[in-house]
Amino acid sequence: MTDIAHSHTDDHPLDGQARYRTDGLGERVVVLPATCKRGLHQLPAAGFRAVAEQGWILVECLACGEGDQVSQWRLTTCGAVAERAEFDDQPYAGHSLQ
């Protein structure tokens, strides 16, 4: 019996589902964690890079450094692309390493 359905290896597991809300203008807003995953930096102040891929979004902390996988958030996305992003730690409490 062969089972190749789960043969892909991903050593950077996703951090869960990205949260969304709809603002007063009816625009779709994606809510991103405000703190890098190391728990060291406030992303809006420290600088960040958000890359939306097919089905997920990568949020990098520029203070920790691009490519620092420990500080990256990897969130799955669903539905239409958000018009803009906001930061809020609350929906992601418990995921941070701190």
Q: Does 43 participate in binding Zn ion (rule CB under 5 A)?
A: no
Q: Does 37 participate in binding Zn ion (rule CB under 5 A)?
A: no
Q: Does 35 participate in binding Zn ion (rule CB under 5 A)?
A: no
Which residues are within 8 A (CB) of 67 and not within 5 positions of it... i.e. 6 or more apart?
60
Least CB distance from residue 32 to Zn ion, whole Å?
Answer: 13
Q: Does 64 participate in binding Zn ion (rule CB under 5 A)?
A: yes
Least CB distance from residue 19 to Zn ion, whole Å?
Answer: 20
Q: Does 14 participate in binding Zn ion (rule CB under 5 A)?
A: no
Whole-angstrom distance, CA of residue 62 vs CA of residue 36: 9
Q: Which residues of 16-43 are buried (b: 16+ CB within 10 A; e: fewer)?
A: eebbbeeeeeeeebbbbbbbbbbeebeb
- Judged by CB under 5 A, the stretch of 13-21, 64-72, 77-85, 87-95 that binds Zn ion is 64-72
Cα angle value 56/58/61 (rounded, 5°): 165
Question: Site residues (CB under 5 A) for Zn ion?
Answer: 36, 38, 40-41, 61, 63-64, 71
